[in-house]
Amino acid sequence: MIASERFERAAVLGVAVAEEARRLLRLHLAEGEAGDDGTVMVDVPYPDAAVVTALLDVAADCFGERGASVEETRQAALETLLQLAGFDEESQLNSGAPGHDGRRT
């Protein structure tokens, strides 16, 4: 396998991991969970929580994320994953979540 094929496959895998993280977060996203600063809390129960934790640990290692604690490292990895998955106003995560009708405000 040539280098360009390896990079392409790695990119596809990275996007797949980001999409799976986004799918699991959307599945457990409840309406009205945003804080005053825009932070969204998502309670992901077991067994999906184990999958999200594994995805974040792999992403943190891949992206070289570091933090003062394991949770800070995972939070940094989550932010990077959500950027990779396109978590913004046009995101499918927003359009599929409760309370979102797909229109920009």
Q: Mean pLDDT lowest for which of 23-37, 40-54, 80-94? A: 80-94
For the chain, the domains span 3-95
| Between 94 and 25, the higher pLDDT residue | 25
Please give the model's pTM, rounded to 2 decimal places. 0.68
Asked whether the beta carbons of 48 and 28 are under 8 A apart, the reply is yes
Residue 5, helix vs strand vs coil: helix
* Predicted local confidence at residue 65, as pLDDT: 84
Give the residue from 77, 46, 50 showing the smallest Cα distance to 64.
77
* Predicted local confidence at residue 69, as pLDDT: 92
Q: What angle do CA 30, 32, 35 make, to 5 degrees?
A: 115
**Span 72-97, mean pLDDT?**
69
